[in-house]
Amino acid sequence: MCGIIGYIGNEEATELLLNGLEKLEYRGYDSAGLAVFDGRNLKVAKSKGRLKVLREVLKNNGGLKGKAGIGHTRWATHGKPSDENSHPHVSTLRKFAVVHNGIIENYLSIKNFLISKGKKFSSETDTEVIAQLLEYYDNGNTLDTVVKVLNDIKGSYAIGIIYEDNPEEIIAAKKDNPLIIGIGENENFITSDVTAIVSKTKNIVRLKDSEIAVIKSDDVIIYDMNKNFVKKEIKVIDWNIDSAEKCGYDHFMLKEIMEQPKAVKDTICSKIKENEIFFDKFLFSKEYLEKINKIFIIACGSAYHVGYVGKYLFEKLFKKPVEVDIASEFRYRDPIVDKNSLVILISQSGETADTLAALRKSKQLGARTLSIVNVIGSSIATESDDVFHTRAGPEIAVATTKAYSAQLCAIYLLAIYFSRKLNTISLKKYNYFIKELIYLPEKISKVFNITEQIRNFSKNFYQAKNVFFIGRNLDYVVSLEGSLKLKEISYIHAEAYAAGELKHGTISLIENNTLIVATLTQKSLVGKTVSNIKEVKARGAIVLLVVTKEVLLKDEHNLKNICDFVFILPDICDEMSPSVSVVPLQLLSYYIALMRGCDIDKPRNLAKSVTVE
Ligand code: F6R
């Protein structure tokens, strides 16, 4: 949600900032802007629309010259996308320019106060109050002024500030939104995400909540809210530039789909040594696992769908009750959580506001918290008691694919590990699962053999108005993900239904030529799902069957004749089937969206990291 970049050094800032914003555009893309100190004054350029529009504006007005600046790419919260509402926002006397990611909840009262003091507002945003308040408190000491402002504002923020009277430094601060400082040689950066600076430096410092960084070209000093120095360790990131580039693919989404075998392999290998599952960073003893009365799995969107897989697997293997919850619901209901509850939070970004709030609530209620997070050092990873880091690498496309797959692996590993500890699965079963895990990347790669078939199928169905995804058990859970993928990137209305539930209402929507995608991997449920397929066929639907080879070979039900199209998957144990069955659904969404001319990596109205409620 909004991307922030800042630069101070010896190079011209504008191109560096624009290049950084290009990498951050996935976080929001309804408008963009820059503020650069040109040696005398702060100069601002901003515009509604994608970054390319801002580039045009800069070309037409001669550009911004200067070696210190801040930039922003926006996902609107307060005020529609417009030139005026774009960041950076400047104060009335144009002394301060500010970029912000987050929401200032008490902005209205501050705004009214500042208007009464003569400040002139030019936008509808909450952010502008920060710039105006900085100027109101300005006493020549930037740190002092910033602390006063941060004490007044309520809400969440990552902010970058540039101050005309002290252009030798840029200031950054954060609360509940990510902000990273990139340390270069005689140049330094601020950014919402390391992908924006990885081509320039791999040395980073992650700001914590309520820390303020004063960044000069040759120095970075970090303070707490009492203006005391904070000593921070410089971390070296191991991401390479390729992670932030398309590397010949037309879209990040396709690249990331194809990277799934590696994401899965890296995640699994991080926890398997000599055919045993290992968790060296945290310890779930037998005694602790016995005491667990309930597991809660909390997440949003696709990560929530992974949580659903977790529910089926933990209940099947670990034999403990599991509740899976949407984070935005969990945080405002009264869940029965106590010290014997284990709360598992799943998040790619580790910054999703609702998931973070659910984590904090769970801790308050006394639960032990374990997060499954892709971004190292993110808020959710930092605040939870234990962390399982997935190894998907940076995910740029707004629609998640490889992070989802890596999260699935984390769930498998935990469920198998817990179950073996309590002996709810036999050693034989455990060894079998380990083998299945090791072969998983290869099986996912095999699904790519049907890519051309999926592309051809998409040619015939990209104009569909409605698509229904059905399945039972884990096939239902994968259907949820398939339908979300299709909706979010192709804008086709899609619904996922538990196959047995269709007849309780939704079947009334099925008419001649309605496309149904039926997933069938759960061996014990074949007959049941086939009955549901027959029900929709009888009402004129066209059925695409996504099925494992094993199920199809048995084919007691004559599936090939009942269904109109068949995508065949490699054989896989029931428990890990989502890892292979999701791949054709991802590819189907991708090709349908491609044929519809959609902006696949940046679907309308969306942003990658949802740091607001
Ligand atoms: C869908 C998608 C979202 C995210 C959700 C949670 O393709 O990417 O539904 O899964 O916004 O985000 P994280 O995992 O960052 O908490």
**pLDDT single digits (tens) 574-589:** 999 999 999 999 999 9
Residue 586 CB–ligand 1 contact under 6 Å: no
Q: Residue 500 and residue 518: Cα distance in Å, rounded?
A: 12
405 pocket-lining for ligand 1 (C-beta < 6 Å): no
Dig out the tokens for 535 from the structure. Answer: 């029900």
Position 609 confidence tier, pLDDT thresholds 50, 70, 90: confident
Report the distance separating Cα 41 and Cα 39, nearest Å.
6
> Please, what is the average pLDDT of the chain?
95
Residue 201's pLDDT is 96
Q: What count of Cα atoms within 13 Å lies in the side-chain half-sphere of residue 320?
A: 24
Do 436 and 304 contact (CB within 8 A), yes or no? no
Ligand 1 atom nearest to CA at 352: 16
Burial string for 162-181 (b: 16+ CB within 10 Å, else e) reads bbbebbebbbbbbbbbbbbb
Band of pLDDT at residue 76, cut at 50, 70 and 90: confident
Spatial separation of the C-alpha atoms in residues 50 and 74, rounded to whole Å: 9
Residues 6 or more apart whose CB falls under 8 angstroms from that of 497 comprise: 468, 469, 470, 476, 479, 506
Coil, strand or helix at 457: helix
How many angstroms does the Cα of residue 117 sit away from the middle of ligand 1? 42
499 pLDDT tier (thresholds 50, 70, 90): very high
- Cβ of 354 below 6 Å from ligand 1: no
Using 50, 70 and 90 to split pLDDT, how confident is the model at 281? confident
pTM (global) more than 0.95 = no
**Mode of pairing for the β-strands spanning 89-90 and 96-104:** antiparallel
User: How sure is the predictor about 128, in pLDDT bands with cuts at 50, 70 and 90?
Assistant: very high
Whether ligand 1 lies within 6 angstroms of the CB of 610 is answered as yes
Q: Is there a catalytic annotation at residue 402?
A: no
Peptide bond between residue 81 and the one before it cis (omega within 30 degrees of 0): no
In this predicted structure, the answer to whether residue 143 has a pLDDT above a threshold of 90 is yes
Q: Find the 432 Cα to ligand 1 centroid distance in Å.
A: 31
Q: Among 1, 256, 302, name the best residue to mutate to test ligand 1's pocket (greatest count of ligand atoms within 8 A of Cβ).
A: 302
Q: Which residue has the tokens 């699962």?
A: 433
**Residue type for position 582:** V
Choose which residue among 26, 331, 346, 349 to substitute to test ligand 1 binding: the one with the highest number of ligand atoms within 8 A of its C-beta: 349
Query: Would you state the structure tokens that stand for residue 613, as one six-digit string?
Result: 């409620």
Which helix (H) or strand (E) element contains residue 340?
Answer: none
Q: Is 399 in the pocket of ligand 1 (CB under 6 A)?
A: yes
* Spatial CB neighbours of 610, under 8 Å, sequence gap ≥ 6: 1, 300, 349, 352, 353, 354
- The answer to whether 17 and 5 have CB atoms below 8 angstroms apart is yes
Q: Which SS3 state, helix, strand or coil, does residue 521 take? A: coil
Q: Residue type for 52, please?
A: K
Asked if 343 and 337 count as a contact pair (C-beta separation under 8 A), the reply is: yes
- Give me the mean pLDDT over the 274-295 stretch: 91
Q: Identify which has the larger pLDDT, 215 or 611.
A: 215
Q: Is 302 in the pocket of ligand 1 (CB under 6 A)?
A: yes
Mean pLDDT of 477-496: 98
Residue 608's pLDDT band (cuts 50, 70, 90): confident
Percentage of the chain surpassing pLDDT 70? 100
Catalytic residue among 2, 300, 563, 598: 2
Q: Round to whole Å and give the CA distance between 543 and 537.
A: 7
The pLDDT confidence band at residue 613, using thresholds 50, 70 and 90, is: confident
Distance CA 454, CA 151 (A): 55
On the question of pLDDT at 413 being above 80, the answer is: yes
Residue nearest to atom 9 of ligand 1 (CA): 301
Mean pLDDT of 153-169: 95
Domains belonging to the chain, first-starting first, are 3-244 (3.60.20.10), 252-425 (3.40.50.10490), 450-595 (3.40.50.10490)
* Beta strands 188-191; 211-215: pairing state: unpaired
Residue 301 alpha carbon, nearest atom of ligand 1: 9
**C-alpha–C-alpha distance, residues 578 and 521, integer Å:** 9
Return the pLDDT at 242: 75
The residue contributing the CA closest to ligand 1 atom 7 is: 399
Q: How far apart are the first and last CA of the chain?
A: 11
Q: What angle do CA 324, 330, 334 make, to 5 degrees?
A: 115
- Strand pairing partners for 71? 5, 34
CA-closest candidate to residue 27, choices 613, 488, 612, 490: 612
239 has pLDDT over 80: no
Bigger pLDDT: 288 or 27? 288
**Distance between CA 417 and CA 189 in Å, rounded?**
41
Q: Does 88 sit behind a cis peptide bond, omega within 30 degrees of 0 on the bond before it?
A: yes
Closest CA to 594 of 396, 462, 454: 462
Residue 309 alpha carbon to ligand 1 centre in Å: 15
* Ligand 1 pocket residue status of 328, Cβ below 6 Å: no
Q: Does 611 have pLDDT greater than 90?
A: no
- Across the beta sheet with 542-548, the strand order is 493-498, 466-471, 515-520, 542-548, 565-569
pLDDT of residue 348 exceeding 80, the answer is: yes
- Of 352, 374, 387, 585, the one to substitute when testing ligand 1's pocket (max ligand atoms within 8 A of C-beta) is 352
**Ramachandran region, residue 3 (left: φ > 0; alpha: ψ -120 to 50; beta: rest):** beta
Question: Which residues sit opposite 569 in a β-bridge?
Answer: 548
Q: What are phi and psi of 354, to 5 degrees?
A: -70, -40
- Asked if pLDDT for residue 77 goes beyond 90, the answer is no
The amino acid that residue 77 corresponds to is T
Q: What is the pLDDT of residue 247?
A: 87
Q: Write the DSSP symbol of residue 602.
A: S
Out of 142-156, 350-364, 551-565, pick the least confident: 551-565
DSSP, collapsed to helix, strand or coil, labels residue 92 as coil
608 belongs to the catalytic site: yes
HEC assignment per residue over 382-447: HHCCEEEECCCCCCCCCCCCHHHHHHHHHHHHHHHHHHHHCCCCCHHHHHHHHHHHHHHHHHHHHH
| pLDDT given at position 465 | 96
* CB of 300 shorter than 6 A to ligand 1: yes
Angle at 93 between CA 89 and CA 95, to 5 degrees: 65
Confidence of residue 5 (pLDDT cuts 50, 70, 90): very high
Which atom of ligand 1 lies at the shortest distance from residue 610's CA? 11
Structure tokens at 585: 């659904």
356-400 pLDDT, tens per residue? 999 999 999 999 999 999 998 889 999 999 999 999 998 999 999
pLDDT of residue 244: 75
Q: Is the CB of 86 under 6 A from ligand 1?
A: no
Q: Report the b/e string of 51-70 with b at 16+ CB within 10 A.
A: beebbebbeeeebbebbbbb
Determine the Cα–Cα distance for residues 115 and 94; give it in Å rounded to an integer. Answer: 16
Instruction: State the catalytic residue, choosing from 202, 265, 421, 608.
Output: 608
Mean pLDDT of 427-450: 98
Distance from the CA of 346 to the center of ligand 1, in angstroms?
9
Residue (of 254, 250, 355, 342) closest to 301 by Cα position: 355
